[in-house]
Amino acid sequence: MNESHFRVTWEDLSYKVELSAINLLFQKHILQKTNVKKSKTILNGLNGEFKSGELIALMGPSGAGKSTLLECLSGKRRNGRSGLIGFMGSKKVDVAFIPQQDHFFQMLTVREALSFASKLKSLSNEDEMEIIVQEKNKNEDDAASILTSDHGNIVDSLLNQLSLKNCAETRISNLSGGQMKRLSIAQELASQPDILILDEPTSGLDSASCYQTVELLHTLTQQSSSIAIVVTIHQPSAKVFNLFHKIYVLSTIGKCIYDGPPMNVIDWLTQFNLICPQFYNPADYIIEVASGDYGEEAIYSMAEAIDESHKNGRRKTNEGEILLLESSIKAPKFNTIESIVYLIHRSSICIFRDFLTFCFRFCIYIVIGFFMGLLFYGLGKRGGCPPDLSNGMNPQDLERFQSLVRVEKEDTINYIGCIFFSAVFLQYAGICFNVVTFPLTINAITKEVRNGWYQGSNYFLALSIADLPLTMISSLLFALVVYIMSELPLEFDRFWHYFLILFFLSFISQSHGFFIGALFDRNVTAAVFLAPCTGVPFILFSGFLIKLEAVPTYLKIFNYLSYTQYIIEALIFTLYGGLRCGEGTGYLVEVTTSKIGVYLSSMFRIAMEATSDDYETDFEMVNVTKSIVNSITPEFLKNVKIKNGNVESAMITSFNLSEASYADFMIILTVYALITRFIAYKLLSLKIYADK
C-alpha cells in the first residue's frame, strides 16, 4: 500500500445505550412510559470500510444511527461500543470532526478565524505542516503540496479553494449558512487532516448550496488522494447522490442494507425484488426501504447479504496487519506558550470587539457606582472615631460632644450598608455576566480541543488573562466613583487596598459564573435562574446580617466558606483600619478622660463631704464617688480602644479586626480565587473530554 494511502474498517460494530437505574425509574414512574427497556441497541453488528481518496455518505432514516456511527468512527463515543474499528496504513493519521451544528467565535472575521486556525493547528503539527495550495491564476488542475509556515499564504489558499474570498473580511456572525459550512471545512483543512468527518454538512441549506458543499468535498478528495471524507446526509437529490464515491445505508434495525457506489443502488435493490420506479430518486427510494416501508423482511435479507459480502471480502483481502484506529491517530504535540499567546490574542479580539457587551459592562459599573455615591454621599468621611479633642473638652461641652458622637455612629453604621451592597453588586455582576457568555463558547472550545488545536487548560488560562484588563478596569471605575463620592480619605494606600479587594471579589465571582455556566451549558435559562440563587448562601453567611458569634455552631462552617464574609471584613478594615482616627489620638482621649474624671470627682467629693454623716467611712465615700463619675463619663470616652497610642475606629472594635486578620483575609482570598478558578476549569475539562 502506498505510504499516503490507508484503509479504515469496522467489524461487528455495535453500540448500546444503557439507562441508569434512576433514569429507568423516572421513565416508568414519573413519565408513566410503558415498555421501557434498560438498554437500547442503536448499531447492531455493522461491517464496513472506507479508504483514502473517497467521499463516503452515511445514509438512513432519522434515528437509524448515522450520527452515532460517525461518532464511533471518530472516537467520540466509547462507552457502550463493542467491535473492532481497524486501520491499515503505513503512517499515523489526523482525524478532524465537524459537528452538525458547528460553533464559532462570532466576533472574528473569516480571515481571522482561518488565520488563528492555521497558527494553532501548526503548533500541534509542527513536523508536518503540509497543505494543498490551489493557485487560481494557473490551470485548475495545477495543485501543489508545499511545506510552509506562512500562515498568510495558507489562509489565501483556503479562501480561494473554498470560495470564501468575497467574504474574507466579513464577521462570522454575518455569514450565510453555506458560507459557515465552508468555513468549518476550511478551518480543519488548515492542517490537511487525513480523515475529515462531517455530521449533516448540508442540513439547513438550500438545494444549490447543498450541491456546492458536496461538490467541494468531492473536489477535495480528487485534489489530494490521501484524504478520506465521511459525511452523514439525510435525503440528497439525485445530482448530489451521484457525487459520492460510496454509499453506506443504515436501516431502522441498526443494520447496513447497502454498501457500494451510488450507481449500483438500483441493481442491488432489484436483487431483492424492490424495483425503483422510473424517474424516481434512488436515494429517496432506498431510504424508504430502510425505513421499513416495504417490509422488514427485505431489510433483514439485505443486511444478511451485506454481512456475508464483508466476510467474503475479508477472506480475499490480505493487506497486512490491522491496527486499532485509535492507536493510529497522531497525538498532537502542543506548544503551550505560543498557543496561549495566540489564544489570548483571539480572546482579546472577541472581548473588545463585542461593543455592546463591552460598553454595557462598563456602563453598569459606573451607573450603579454613581447611584451608590449619591445615596451614601459624604458618609465615608465618618470614621467611627471620637470627636476632635486637640483643643481639650470642658464639662459644658459634653452635650455637644455627645451629639457629634451620635451623628458619627449613625453615619458610620449607615455606610456599612454601602460596603455590603458593593460586595453584593460585584458578586452578582461577576456571576451573571459569565453565566450568560461562557456557555456560548463551550461548544466551539470542545470542537477545537477534540480536533487537536490546543489543550483545554491553555484556552482557559488565555481567557482568564485576556479578561483581566476588563475586570480590573470595571472594578477600578466602580471603586473610583464610590470612593470619591462617599468622601472616603484621599489616601493612595487605602484606595489601592480598597480597589484590590473589589478586584478579588470580581475575579472570584467570575469563577463562580464560569462554574455555573459550564454546569448548565446546554440550558442557559436554567443557568441564568440558578446562578443568582447560588450566590445567596454566600451573602446569608457573610457576617453582615448576623454576627458570627450569634450563628449556631453547626452552621458556622458556612461562614468560613463564604468568600463574601472575607470581602466585607477586609473592606471594613481597609476603610476604617490604620490611622483612620489620626495619630496620637489615644493620648488626647486619655488626658481628656482623666481631666473629666478629676473634675467630676472633685465636684462629688465636695458635695459628699458636706453630707459626710451619711457615710460611715472615707473608703465608702470614695467608692460612691467613683461609681457616680463612671456613670456620668461619656460613653465615647469609656469605650474607646487605644492601640499603640492611637484610637481605633469603632468599626474595627465592633468586628474585632486587626492587621493580622486582614493579612489572613488577603491570603484566604488569594487561595479562594485560585481554587475557584481551578474548579471552574476542571468542570470545563470534564465537559470537553467527556466520553458520551
Distance CA 641, CA 659 (A): 15
Give the CA dihedral 479, 485, 488, 490, nearest 10 degrees. Answer: 80
Phi, then psi, of 260 in degrees rounded to 5 = 175, -175
Distance CA 379, CA 662 (A): 23
Instruction: Give the lowest-confidence range in 201-210, 218-227, 511-520, 598-607.
Output: 598-607
Higher pLDDT pick, 692 / 28 = 28
Contact (Cβ atoms closer than 8 angstroms) between residue 354 and residue 433: no
Go through the domains of the chain in sequence order and give each one's CATH number.
1-9+48-93+194-329 (3.40.50.300), 382-388+395-581+650-689 (no CATH), 585-647 (no CATH)
For residue 75, the Cα-to-chain-centroid distance in whole angstroms is: 24
**3-class secondary structure for 661-683?**
HHHHHHHHHHHHHHHHHHHHHHH
pLDDT over 90 for what percent of the chain?
37
Average pLDDT, the chain: 83
Average pLDDT over residues 326-342: 84
Instruction: Give the lowest-confidence range in 144-158, 298-312, 406-420.
Output: 144-158
Average pLDDT over residues 97-115: 91
Q: What is the pLDDT at residue 131? A: 43
pLDDT over 70 for what percent of the chain?
80
Distance CA 546, CA 541 (A): 8
**3-class secondary structure for 435-488?**
HHHCHHHHHHHHHHHHCCCCCHHHHHHHHHHHHHHHHHHHHHHHHHHHHHHCCC
Count the Cβ atoms, other than its own, within 10 Å of residue 573.
25
Q: What is the pLDDT at residue 34? A: 65
Query: What pLDDT, in 10s, does the model give residues 444-474?
Result: 998 999 888 999 899 999 999 999 999 999 9
Average pLDDT over residues 110-138: 68
Average pLDDT over residues 209-229: 86
pLDDT of residue 12 exceeding 60: yes
pLDDT of residue 133 exceeding 50: no
Q: What is the pLDDT at residue 401? A: 67
Contact (Cβ atoms closer than 8 angstroms) between residue 417 and residue 423: no
Distance CA 145, CA 103 (A): 29
> Using 50, 70 and 90 to split pLDDT, how confident is the model at 647?
confident
pLDDT of residue 538 exceeding 70: yes
Residues whose CB falls within 8 Å of the CB of residue 423, separated by 6 or more in sequence, listed in order: 505, 539, 542, 564, 567, 568, 571
Helix (H) or strand (E) holding 376: none
> Using 50, 70 and 90 to split pLDDT, how confident is the model at 148?
very low
pLDDT of residue 2 exceeding 80: no
Q: What is the pLDDT at residue 122? A: 82
Instruction: Give the lowest-confidence range in 179-193, 377-391, 393-407.
Output: 393-407
Q: What is the pLDDT at residue 579? A: 81
Starting at the edge strand found earlier in the chain, the sheet holding 81-89 runs 39-51, 6-18, 81-89, 323-324
